[in-house]
Chains A and B, each alone.
Chain A
Amino acid sequence: MASVQWHSRGRKYESEWQGCHLEGSAVEFSDYHPLKAITVTDSKSRRGGRKGSTSSTSSSSSSVALDPLSSMLDGTDPLSLFAAASETPTLPHSISAGELGRKRQEKEEEVGLDFEPWSSKRGEILSRFTTTEKLSINLFMGSDKSKAASPSSAVSEKVRTRLEELDDLEEGSQRELLNLSQQEYVNRIEELNQSLKEAWGSDQKVKALKIVIQCSKLLSDTSVIQFYPSKFVLITDILDTFGGLVYDRILTMCADPHPLPESFSADEVNDTAKETCLNWFFKIASIRELVPRLYVEAALLKCNRFLAKCGIQETLQRLTAMIRGIGDPLVAVYARAYLCRVGMEVAPHLKDSLNKNFFDLLASFRQIHGESVQNQLGLQRVEIPIYLTLYSPAIHWILQCVAYRAPEVLLTEMMDRCKKLGNNALLLNSVMWAFRAEFVATRATDFIGMIKDCDEAGFPKHLLFASLGRSLSCADPPESERLSILNEAWKVITKVRGPRDYINCAEIWVEFTCRHFTKREVNTVLADIIKHMTPDRAFEDAYPQLQSVINKILPYFHDFSVLFSMEKFLPFLDMFQKDSVRVEVCKSIMEVFIRHQQEATRDPVILNALLHICKTMHDSVNALTLDDEKRSLALLINGFIRMVSFGRDFEQQLSFCVEARATFCNLEPVIIHLIHTVNQLAMETRRVMKGNHSRKTAAFVRACAAYSFITIPSLTSIFSRLNLYLLSGQVALANQCLSQADAFLKAAVSILPEVPRTISIEGKQRSSEPFFLEFINNFLSTLLVVPDHPEQGVLYLVRGLLNMVQDYTWEDNSDAKVRVYISALPLLAAMSQESYLYTIPKVDSNETLYGGDPKFIAEINKLCETLIGQVLDHLKTLGRDEGVRRQCGLAFSLFGCLLAHGDLRNNKLNQLAVNLWNLSHKHGFCETRTSVRTLEYIKHQAQLADMSHLSDITARLSLQSRA
């Protein structure tokens, strides 16, 4: 095809703009609104009620009759159907989800959420009571046979085995596992739990019961006493599983005609189920040993519901009394804890047995200091204070159950009873733990007195103060006593010797101090902590506690100037010498700062401290840091930078940015943020000067530009660099810094060849092409207002850009290059207008520089012709099979470009346009709808003045035949 001559179409932007305005068409709102519900007066009744499902239905007040969504859900929606299905327990041997859910619901109804559940204590106990000593599991099988002290030796073998069958796990086998480490022991117990479930699943009910009995027997063994609380937790898990299995099994037996209602009574239970239940109880009643019998019966407590109305109550009372038979005080107290726990779960309204349990505990309290306990401790070489702490979880739990929603009178009575017992530190501790914090707080002074009276040799005092502190951190003591309480408590705490004990206690009291006192007291406390923790680098072992101190202080000091004016705060931070912890702490401080700092600040104290903290975070970044971690650090630092403002003192702000850049050079997002900040600073200056820069401000904005210019190259992400160059260039232009703008844009053009063909986005390799094209289009639109450099040729930047595009190694089979060419045409067309579409105030664009000089226009036209020539060449190469579709698309977009920007009065262009139209329709890949609309547009345009030439074009454009 011969070379074409380009003529840009003359544009009158003003009038076109007005012509483009849509006519406002009035909408009558009362008539119709798409979002308004259709109100229908006769509501259709729904088929198939929802059967009490609580799922939210789509309609509420207005009856939407024809809502497609609700009609889909006609009847029961799938979720509630599913729930309904699981409500009827179909699998006999498994705990169905519905049942579990119901249990939970029940619990929530009767025991409020304010009751700390056992599950949360579990983990704590397991992690606290550990041992390095060797443990043994002794599952004695038939050990009773050797115990021939009974007066009758003539019992026939048949009867004997029948009776002892229950004690045997496997006939005649005896397994004793010695020398287990703690972990092995835990695994062993877990295995037993598994084999219990398996036995149950395979219908070996007797074997399951044997396993449970054997496990609960382990609870009467107090060798390796430090591990006892954990052992209790592990084994009661098994008991809970067992209790659930039996209950569910019997419940499914009752479901025969129809499932039992939630609150069934014993009368509704059928005979078979009752008989099965009775059988279980008879079997359990014949268990020889006290402890297993007690535990297994407690595990099945809930099953009493099937037999009699007040069965649970009677059984609870009986079991409570039965515990008196346990001689070892530790075993007994844990048995009580289990009973209370089961009681709370099954029948939380039965308070009597809980209280009875507690009073029995008090009555047998002296056993703890009894002779047999002393002997045992001597044998196991366990100190009394350690031994006493073993009781804490159980007594805490019992007291928590007792005190839950208990009246004040009862609590006072309990207190008095505790007071009467000698050496009651252990009880006192649990009282403070378990009773309502308000109750303890109002009597805080009394408690301090009692703590002081306690025997020094027994329960460690710092634990008592820790418990008191815990209560005081949730409830407030009377205003007048607060200072004396703090003084009294701290007097004791500061004397605690071991740094570990000290910090555990001090950490708790920090909360109280922060809550009620000013920075002065908090500062004193911090100083004391530093004093205790510095010798021998004790802080190294106490990072979690120190961290929690910080976390407790932060919520109370939202004013960071106060926080940092505490002398000891930064020295306290210096104690975190392990990098990971240090960064953690810094992060938490920054988070609080970002959340609570309302307005930007210039307070030097805050800035210095935070800069220090941010630097710490930044310095932790190394080659191994994860991307996510970097991102979150950068986010925090950016948050800080955003909060720094020096008001009208722009220069100081800039110098802060310079400092920040030096400090945070490793975090790219921070650098990017800094560049944006500086650009914003330049624009802010322009706004303040209302566009008329003085000499001083001009120098300042040039300094800003220089800042950006030297900062951008340090970024690694190519697109960040490109976009920032462009943006900074725009900012420089807006501030009339022409040479700077030129430099930015030139720099952008010069790094274009570096753009890789693929970039990694969220860990995936993606083609960079769409981003590249987007950038170039953005760039082109900026170029319209950039005046040509006086020393360089006409359209220096445009040419430079196009040359770069030409030399860039595009992907094979890509039309991107040609698309750039096509999108450059509108720019060139816009440049050849007399007055431009947009300009920058106080910057002369090419329109004024050249004033529509014909030479300039000719230059532009020449460039256009070259571009069109290139496009046409490319179109020719696409003539073959697979390129046809692309050819069609490209031809159509070039046609569109000609139509919009070319002067079609020119015959050659006119002809070219028609040819392109035909080319794009030649192979039938054009979307008919687009073609039709284009034609319509042309016809519409042809009616306008000056555009009549378009009408004969329309005659020559034919639509694609549908054949």
Chain B
Amino acid sequence: MSVSLDIRLKRANKVYHEGERLSGVLVISTRDALQHQGVSLSLEGLVNLQLSSKSVGVFEAFYNSVKPIQLVSSNMEVVKPGKVPAGRTEIPFEFPLQAKGSKVLYETYHGVFVNIQYTLRCDMRRPLLAKDLSKSCEFMLHCQPQKPKLPPSPVEFSITPETLQNVKERTSLPKFLIKGHLDATSCAITRPLTGELVVERSEVAIKSIELQLVRVETCGCAEGYARDATEIQNIQIAEGDVCHGLSIPIYMVFPRLFTCPTLETTNFKVEFEVNIVIVLHDDHLITENFPLKLVRV
């Protein structure tokens, strides 16, 4: 096609905060002069909630998906109906990022049952016989830095057959002792999760040690809610029969988009947890769970 529409935001990383101005240019490049009936820009921030099929019946989940919550919405006409000359036309624009009413602009988050997304959309209406053109572009919203409530404190852990719950036959378990610590469970989202882990001893060789990052999403309100934990990512920190007594670093970068500061609202909650998963050579699976509190500092 000889016409293209593009939105270029000023910031390369597309990250904005509440109260800032979202600025950029609209680029229209066309080979011939172009007749149109107006170009408009719209900005929208939405929270999409979805109930999982596990919590309710399948059909219910389909129909009763919770109503989306609009956080911000604005619209403006950038160009009046008329003609765009041939070649490249750049139209600068600027939007104030202000929440609707008393709402807060939550941080961008892509989850399974909760999605918080901000988009900028540009529409060009064109006369009959020509398709309308549109282009949308997602940008990230980061919330204002929060002050950590508590100074970060390391969390020690020690895993032995005795500390485990949910064990059917405790006698069949091989003996092992795995010690370690997480540097903090209240983590800055921009900093990696760190810590150390030492396999002090283990009767059976270790096959793998992994860090599993889990999101816990809760939708609904006090009467009825659905709470689901799903995996975000799984990072292997040890492979094979590691050297006993030698500390292995725990290190995991929080992925962008898929994590956000821990969020609690009246309608939904987004929380995170990390599991340390130890797989033994005889396929025993040992998991130690740590709830995390993510903050943006």
Instruction: Report A's interface with B, CB cutoff 8 A.
Output: 149-152, 154-156, 159, 163, 220, 270-272, 274-275, 278, 281-282, 285-286, 288-291, 293, 318, 321-322, 324-328, 331, 360, 363-364, 366-367, 370-372
Q: Which of B33-41, B78-86, B153-161, B239-247 contacts A (4 or more CB under 8 A)?
A: B239-247
A542 to B182, CA, bound (A): 59
Residue of B nearest to A364 (CB): B243
In the complex, the 10 A-B pairs of residues with the closest C-beta atoms, listed nearest first: A327-B240, A325-B238, A271-B12, A285-B253, A364-B243, A327-B241, A152-B230, A290-B236, A321-B249, A372-B241
A155 to B232, CA, bound (A): 9
Inter-chain contacts of B251 with A (CB < 8 A): 318, 322
- Report whether B54 and A154 are in contact in the complex, using a CB–CB cutoff of 8 Å: yes
- Report whether A325 and B285 are in contact in the complex, using a CB–CB cutoff of 8 Å: no
A282 to B140, CA, bound (A): 16
- Report whether B112 and A372 are in contact in the complex, using a CB–CB cutoff of 8 Å: no
Residue of A nearest to B55 (CB): A154
A366 to B238, CA, bound (A): 17
Name 18 interchain pairs, CB-CB below 8 A, sorted by A: A150-B212, A150-B231, A150-B234, A151-B229, A151-B231, A151-B275, A220-B239, A275-B13, A288-B233, A290-B238, A322-B249, A324-B242, A324-B243, A324-B248, A328-B240, A366-B243, A367-B243, A372-B240
- Report whether A286 and B233 are in contact in the complex, using a CB–CB cutoff of 8 Å: yes
Indicate which residue in A154, A325, A327 contacts B52 across the interface (CB closer than 8 Å): A154
Q: B209 at interface (Cβ–Cβ under 8 A)?
A: yes
Residue from the set A324, A331, A366 with the largest chain B CB neighbour count within 10 Å? A324
Inter-chain contacts of A281 with B (CB < 8 A): 253
Q: Taking the nearest CB of chain A, how far is it from the CB of B173, in angstroms?
A: 17
- Report whether A370 and B241 are in contact in the complex, using a CB–CB cutoff of 8 Å: yes
A213 to B294, CA, bound (A): 30
- Report whether A372 and B236 are in contact in the complex, using a CB–CB cutoff of 8 Å: no
Q: Taking the nearest CB of chain A, how far is it from the CB of B259, in angstroms?
A: 11
Residue of B nearest to A160 (CB): B231
- Report whether A363 and B246 are in contact in the complex, using a CB–CB cutoff of 8 Å: yes
Q: B11 at interface (Cβ–Cβ under 8 A)?
A: yes
Residue of B nearest to A317 (CB): B249
Inter-chain contacts of A271 with B (CB < 8 A): 11-13
Known: A156-B112, A322-B249. A363 touches B13 (CB 8 A): no
- Report whether B237 and A325 are in contact in the complex, using a CB–CB cutoff of 8 Å: yes
Residue of B nearest to A289 (CB): B236
Known: A154-B52, A286-B255, A318-B251. A327 touches B13 (CB 8 A): no
Q: Taking the nearest CB of chain B, how far is it from the CB of A919, in angstroms?
A: 81
Inter-chain contacts of A318 with B (CB < 8 A): 249, 251
Q: B100 at interface (Cβ–Cβ under 8 A)?
A: no
- Report whether A325 and B249 are in contact in the complex, using a CB–CB cutoff of 8 Å: yes
A278 to B230, CA, bound (A): 26
Residue of A nearest to B213 (CB): A286
Known: A150-B212, A325-B238, A327-B238. A155 touches B243 (CB 8 A): no
A165 to B61, CA, bound (A): 27
Looking at chain A's contact residues, the main secondary structure is: helix
Q: B205 at interface (Cβ–Cβ under 8 A)?
A: yes
A150 to B234, CA, bound (A): 9
Inter-chain contacts of B237 with A (CB < 8 A): 290, 322, 325
- Report whether B112 and A159 are in contact in the complex, using a CB–CB cutoff of 8 Å: yes
Q: Taking the nearest CB of chain B, how far is it from the CB of A886, in angstroms?
A: 73
Q: Taking the nearest CB of chain A, how far is it from the CB of B281, in angstroms?
A: 8
Inter-chain contacts of A156 with B (CB < 8 A): 112
Indicate which residue in B249, B285, B287 contacts A324 across the interface (CB closer than 8 Å): B249
A272 to B13, CA, bound (A): 8
- Report whether B112 and A149 are in contact in the complex, using a CB–CB cutoff of 8 Å: no
Q: B135 at interface (Cβ–Cβ under 8 A)?
A: no
- Report whether A155 and B112 are in contact in the complex, using a CB–CB cutoff of 8 Å: yes
A278 to B248, CA, bound (A): 25
Q: B228 at interface (Cβ–Cβ under 8 A)?
A: yes
Inter-chain contacts of A286 with B (CB < 8 A): 233, 235, 253, 255
- Report whether A288 and B206 are in contact in the complex, using a CB–CB cutoff of 8 Å: no
A331 to B253, CA, bound (A): 24
Residue from the set A321, A325, A363, A371 with the largest chain B CB neighbour count within 10 Å? A325
- Report whether A154 and B228 are in contact in the complex, using a CB–CB cutoff of 8 Å: yes
A281 to B254, CA, bound (A): 12
A364 to B12, CA, bound (A): 45
Q: Taking the nearest CB of chain B, how far is it from the CB of A159, in angstroms?
A: 6
Residue from the set B229, B242, B243 with the largest chain A CB neighbour count within 10 Å? B243
Known: A275-B12, A282-B253. A152 touches B236 (CB 8 A): no
Inter-chain contacts of A163 with B (CB < 8 A): 232-233
A325 to B52, CA, bound (A): 37
A154 to B112, CA, bound (A): 9
Inter-chain contacts of A270 with B (CB < 8 A): 12
CB proximity to A under 8 Å, residues B252-273 = 252-253, 255-256
A844 to B111, CA, bound (A): 120
- Report whether B214 and A327 are in contact in the complex, using a CB–CB cutoff of 8 Å: no
A152 to B253, CA, bound (A): 21
Residue of B nearest to A367 (CB): B243
Q: Taking the nearest CB of chain B, how far is it from the CB of A153, in angstroms?
A: 9
Inter-chain contacts of A272 with B (CB < 8 A): 12
Inter-chain contacts of B13 with A (CB < 8 A): 271, 275, 278
A278 to B15, CA, bound (A): 14
Q: Taking the nearest CB of chain A, how far is it from the CB of B278, in angstroms?
A: 12
The interface bits of chain B over 198-233 (1 if a CB of A lies within 8 angstroms of the residue's CB, else 0) are: 000000011001001010000000000000111111
A869 to B232, CA, bound (A): 112
Q: Taking the nearest CB of chain A, how far is it from the CB of B90, in angstroms?
A: 17
A327 to B205, CA, bound (A): 10
- Report whether B247 and A149 are in contact in the complex, using a CB–CB cutoff of 8 Å: no
Known: A152-B214, A325-B249. A282 touches B256 (CB 8 A): yes
A360 to B242, CA, bound (A): 13
A837 to B11, CA, bound (A): 100
A149 to B207, CA, bound (A): 14
Residue from the set B110, B238, B279 with the largest chain A CB neighbour count within 10 Å? B238
A291 to B242, CA, bound (A): 13
Known: A154-B54, A271-B12, A288-B234. A324 touches B247 (CB 8 A): yes
A653 to B238, CA, bound (A): 81
A399 to B212, CA, bound (A): 36
Known: A271-B12, A363-B243, A364-B246. A282 touches B255 (CB 8 A): yes
Inter-chain contacts of A325 with B (CB < 8 A): 209, 236-239, 242, 248-249
Q: Taking the nearest CB of chain A, how far is it from the CB of B154, in angstroms?
A: 17
Residue of B nearest to A328 (CB): B240
A364 to B240, CA, bound (A): 13
Residue of A nearest to B289 (CB): A151
- Report whether B239 and A326 are in contact in the complex, using a CB–CB cutoff of 8 Å: yes
Inter-chain contacts of B249 with A (CB < 8 A): 318, 321-322, 324-325
Inter-chain contacts of B253 with A (CB < 8 A): 281-282, 285-286
Q: Taking the nearest CB of chain B, how far is it from the CB of A287, in angstroms?
A: 8
- Report whether A327 and B229 are in contact in the complex, using a CB–CB cutoff of 8 Å: no
A327 to B240, CA, bound (A): 4
Residue from the set A271, A278, A327, A366 with the largest chain B CB neighbour count within 10 Å? A327
Inter-chain contacts of A275 with B (CB < 8 A): 12-13
A270 to B242, CA, bound (A): 42
Inter-chain contacts of A220 with B (CB < 8 A): 239
Residue of A nearest to B209 (CB): A325
A327 to B11, CA, bound (A): 44
A939 to B239, CA, bound (A): 106
Q: Taking the nearest CB of chain B, how far is it from the CB of A682, in angstroms?
A: 85
- Report whether B239 and A324 are in contact in the complex, using a CB–CB cutoff of 8 Å: no
Q: Taking the nearest CB of chain B, how far is it from the CB of A25, in angstroms?
A: 79
- Report whether B230 and A154 are in contact in the complex, using a CB–CB cutoff of 8 Å: yes
Inter-chain contacts of A150 with B (CB < 8 A): 212, 231, 234
The interface bits of chain B over 4-25 (1 if a CB of A lies within 8 angstroms of the residue's CB, else 0) are: 0000000111000000000000
Known: A154-B230, A318-B249, A324-B248. A290 touches B239 (CB 8 A): yes
Inter-chain contacts of B238 with A (CB < 8 A): 290, 324-327
A119 to B119, CA, bound (A): 51
A150 to B229, CA, bound (A): 11
Inter-chain contacts of B12 with A (CB < 8 A): 270-272, 274-275
